[in-house]
Amino acid sequence: DLAQIGVTGLAVMGRNLARNLARNGYAVAVHNRSPERTRRLVDEFGHEGTFVASESMADFVASLARPRAVIIMVKAGGPTDAVIDELVPLLEEGDIVIDAGNAHFADTRRREQALRGHGLHFVGTGVSGGEEGALLGPSIMPGGSPESYRTLGPMFEKISAKVDGTPCCTHIGPDGAGHFVKMVHNGIEYADMQLIAEAYDLLRAGLGATPAEIADIFRTWNTGDLESFLIEITADVLGHVDNETGKAFVDIVLDQAEQKGTGRWTVQSALDLGVPITGIAEATFARSLSGHADQREAARAAFGTDRAAIEVTDRDQFVEDVRRALYASKIVAYAQGFDHIEAGSAEFGWDIDRGSLATIWRGGCIIRARFLNRIREAYDENPGLKSLMVAPYFAAAINDGVPSWRRVVMAAAEAGIPTPAFSSSLSYFDGLRAERLPASLIQGLRDNFGAHTYRRTDRDGTFHVEWAGDKKEHTA
């Protein structure tokens, strides 16, 4: 019998996606460059469903029912291109190639165009949820043609996570739309994690609490507005004790955060599109800063590491302040991420529905959180929302949080605790709502040194002052 879908690349993510499909009743063709992995999958998990194993790519393709649907789950970049090059000559018009890795959306656009030339569908798909998600139900973000989604949609929706019975999978938009939103998802993931890390740092410095005590605070937070997967696992990680030393795990881990690149891509794309995603950018740069060990050592030697104590008079109030600052900053990060998606959608003609996106991020993915329901509601009520921050629910949450937010950022600045994401999010908020911004001075300076011209508040036109001469204004 022919398989309904195939997976090539059986490292942990590919293997778990294949198992998820098989467990949901699909006959799954499986293939890996080294056949050892394929054999191991069938040996260990063959009982879970129907796997059709092949050693060669040709046999793998031949084992699939038409239109063939092949999921590629290999390293992004060169390895993906290599597999595509091997596959394409074996496929026939109408077949579908799916890249479920974390590819750059520009690569996905290029590949989609190239495969379209061969009469093939290329579907760049975001898959979030890590190993466990891939197996038990991820959040799935497929791009590509609407026609390809007619074949893939039912299968992907079946294997995805469900929230209130709704699948965490929807067709995002054509060509690179799926990988673009997965990229921004990861950027938001970076911001979320940085905010959590700053909150932890503040609680530790302010309360002198142990990681285990802070774990309890996060556990409590996870019962309210902040309820989310990342807050939940923060409690787990903070509560964990190193087996070898008996010390808090978080204290024996080297404090240099790594990244595979999706956060960096998000920031690069936002710069291209002119979207101020300050929270994601600060989170990405904070990881970079942490990795500059030599520079950090030189700075410690030059300036010392002293920090002032944070004066906490009311412990509960301080914890509540940090919670509100975290929540307000988180709203900013998501608002910026959704702005970025809107800008990408407009630039590339994707017509992405932000409300549906919030819906499929409610479960399965790393940034799943209770408040995504609120984001969906906000876009349901007003699809043209200017910023998520101004939706009534979020505006109220921010207004509630502002005094706490300011107290926390001030305390951090006074004590010398770095809070790049907390403080830049607050600045973003104050920047957006300012009556006048000093951008007017910047325009004046640009006109002064480079005759770059400016516009006036009181009448239309473009103007320039003869700075070096009579200082008269001319129409430019």
Angle formed at CA 266 by CA 429 and CA 233, multiple of 5 degrees = 80
Tokens in use for 362?
């409610």
- Minimum CB distance to ligand 6PG, residue 219 (Å): 22
Measured in whole angstroms, the distance separating CA 212 from the mean position of its chain's CA atoms is 28
Tell whether 16 is in a known binding site.
no
Out of 108, 125, 128, 336, the only residue in the binding site for ligand 6PG (CB under 6 A) is 128
Q: Which of 71, 73, 91, 242 is CA-nearest to residue 155?
A: 71
Out of 99, 175, 189, 198, the only residue in the binding site for ligand 6PG (CB under 6 A) is 189
Torsions phi, psi for 24 (to 5 deg) = -95, 15
Burial class (CB in 10 A: 0-12, 13-18, 19+), 392: exposed
Asked if 186 interacts with ligand 6PG (CB under 6 A), we say yes
Tell whether 386 is in a known binding site.
no
Between CA 357 and CA 376 the distance in angstroms is 8
Active site residue 189: yes
Tokens in use for 108?
């996905």
Asked if 130 interacts with ligand 6PG (CB under 6 A), we say yes
Task: Name the segment binding ligand 6PG (CB under 6 A); options: 61-69, 260-268, 395-403, 445-453.
Answer: 260-268
Asked if 112 interacts with ligand 6PG (CB under 6 A), we say no
**Catalytic pick from 55, 92, 147, 182?**
182
Tell whether 13 is in a known binding site.
yes
- Minimum CB distance to ligand 6PG, residue 329 (Å): 19
Asked if 284 interacts with ligand 6PG (CB under 6 A), we say no
- Minimum CB distance to ligand 6PG, residue 360 (Å): 12
Tell whether 260 is in a known binding site.
yes
Indicate the residue among 322 and 357 with the shorter CB distance to ligand 6PG.
357
Tell whether 171 is in a known binding site.
no
Cβ burial 65-97 (10 Å sphere, 16+ → b, else e): eebbbbbbbbebeeebeebbeebbebbeeebbb
3-state SS, 349-400, equals CCCCCHHHHHHHCCCCCCCCECCHHHHHHHHHHCCCCCCHHHCHHHHHHHHH
Using CB under 6 A as the binding rule, the residues of this chain from 362 to 421 that contact ligand 6PG are: 365-366
Tell whether 290 is in a known binding site.
no
Out of 247, 260, 433, 446, the only residue in the binding site for ligand 6PG (CB under 6 A) is 260
Asked if 159 interacts with ligand 6PG (CB under 6 A), we say no
Tell whether 11 is in a known binding site.
yes
Q: Which helix (H) or strand (E) holds 325?
A: helix 315-348
Residue in this structure with the two tokens 């955060």, named with its chain if needed: 257
Direct distance between the N- and C-terminal alpha carbons of the chain, in angstroms, rounded to an integer:
74
Estimate the share of the chain in helix, then strand, then coil, as percent rounded to the nearest 5. 60, 10, 30
- Minimum CB distance to ligand 6PG, residue 322 (Å): 24
Indicate the residue among 172 and 366 with the shorter CB distance to ligand 6PG.
366
Beta strand pairing status for 162-163 and 473-475? unpaired
Indicate the residue among 180 and 394 with the shorter CB distance to ligand 6PG.
180
**Catalytic pick from 189, 198, 282, 342?**
189
Question: Do residues 180 and 102 make contact, with C-beta atoms less than 8 angstroms apart?
Answer: no
DSSP codes, 134-169: HHH--EEEE-S-HHHHHHHHHHHHHHS-EETTEESB
- Minimum CB distance to ligand 6PG, residue 90 (Å): 28
Q: In sequence order, what are the beta bridge partners of 248? A: 241
Indicate the residue among 133 and 174 with the shorter CB distance to ligand 6PG.
133
Asked if 424 interacts with ligand 6PG (CB under 6 A), we say no
89: left (phi over 0), alpha (psi -120 to 50) or beta: alpha
Out of 9, 14, 124, 129, the only residue in the binding site for ligand 6PG (CB under 6 A) is 129
- Minimum CB distance to ligand 6PG, residue 197 (Å): 13
Tell whether 34 is in a known binding site.
yes
Binding footprint of ligand 6PG on the chain (CB under 6 A): 102, 128-130, 186, 189, 259-260, 262-263, 365-366
Binding residues for NADP(+): 9-14, 32-34, 74-76, 102
Q: Which residues are annotated as a binding site?
A: 9-14, 32-34, 74-76, 102, 128-130, 185-186, 190, 260, 287, 446, 452
